[in-house]
Amino acid sequence: MHDIITIGSATEDVFLRSSAWEVREDADSPTGLDQCLPLGGKIPIDELQITTGGGATNAAVTFARLGQLRTACVCRIGATDTSGRAIVAALREARIATPFVQSDAKLRTGFSLILLSGSGERTILTHRGASHAIAPARIPWPRLRAHWFYITSLAGNRTLLRRILSHAERIGAQVAWNPGNDELAWGWDTLAPLVRRCAVINMNREEALVATRCAADDLTGMLTTLHAHAPHAMRIALLTDGKQGAYAFDGARTWHIPSRNIPAINTTGAGDAFGSAFVLGRIHGWDIPDALRLGLANAEGVITHMGAKVGILRKLPSRHALQRYEVAAYA
């Protein structure tokens, strides 16, 4: 029996940091900013790092390393490439069980190229590969037993998601879900009944805007929509908002934890670090404010290092030490 099993993406990540990337404002860009480089030019790279990533493996490291939980990971890698072997080796090094890792004879391991600006903001070029081809039929469901399941992006695989939720309900496990863009594209009518079966639903503000169709400035509307009519007694809607911090709503009260002015080297993996550490706090029986504090502490560790796993905390801070992070009720 595991304490928690993470399910979702696994990739090889190559980080390239250069002060030569030019960031320009662009009203037509989805983010309002473009990361530019001259076509045909030769750009100097200040720093390069090759590591492993993907929401499922990133979260698993938080649970195993920081939480010392009995952790396993369900993901899919290429059967013959070195990237897949590196992912399995990294999981085992973190003492994460790998019997549920699938191999794919046709697709190569997922790959992401992360272009980091001097400020730590990034553009990600990604090849999904085997990462988004988890086969429900190859999961040994009778052996997939845990107190919690932490679901990340499933490449829009509704069959897999519904199977996980039904399996969790059958064995009495809790579910935390951080949906990916492919899941958000289903629309709220499809998402709502699935969201309501989870103990924790975790999105960033842009994702919540797409999922709920609320006005861009209606934060309260997003949180209440994500939480609405949920029968789950532990139900929490968790919403991250970049430099504005994060919010958690339990159906009665909203808490806000502001981000601190920490110089960022890399923001990739910060959301995984925050969400998984928040759930870890809840698994340990912590209240919502202290779980938010743990989430922010873990995210700060990640953004001050290259890579999505290097900065994940190695020791659980005391709740007393975490009081340096301000948490307040949000009106």
Task: Summarize pLDDT for 194-207 with one digit per residue, the tens.
Answer: 999 999 999 999 99
CA 241 to mean position of chain CA atoms:
14
The pTM score is 0.93
Give the pLDDT band (50/70/90) at residue 29. low
Phi, psi of 189 (to 5 degrees): -60, -35
Among the listed residues 131, 200, 136, the one whose alpha carbon sits nearest the alpha carbon of residue 166: 136
The band of 232, judged by pLDDT with boundaries at 50, 70 and 90, is: low
Neighbours of 78 (CB within 10 A): 23
141-155 average pLDDT score = 97
Predicted confidence at residue 43, as pLDDT, reads 81
User: What is the per-residue pLDDT for 233?
Assistant: 54
**Given a cut of 60, is residue 180 above it in pLDDT?**
yes
CA Rg value for the chain: 19
User: Cβ contacts of residue 82 below 8 Å, gap of 6+?
Assistant: none
What gap in Å lies between CA 292 and CA 271, rounded to an integer? 12
The rounded percent of the chain whose pLDDT value lies above 70 is 94
Let me know: does 149 contact 3? Beta carbons within 8 Å: no
Task: Write down the pLDDT at residue 68.
Answer: 97
Angle CA(151)–CA(152)–CA(155) in degrees, nearest 5?
115
Taking phi first (over 0 means left), then psi (-120 to 50 degrees means alpha), and beta for anything else, what does residue 261 get?
Answer: beta
CA 83 – CA 131 distance, rounded (Å): 11
Dihedral over Cα of 32, 54, 77, 175: its sign: negative
Q: How is domain 2-20+44-329 classified at the CATH fold level?
A: UDP-N-acetylmuramoyl-L-alanine:D-glutamate ligase (3.40.1190)
For the chain, the average pLDDT equals 91
Q: Is the pLDDT of residue 149 over 70?
A: yes
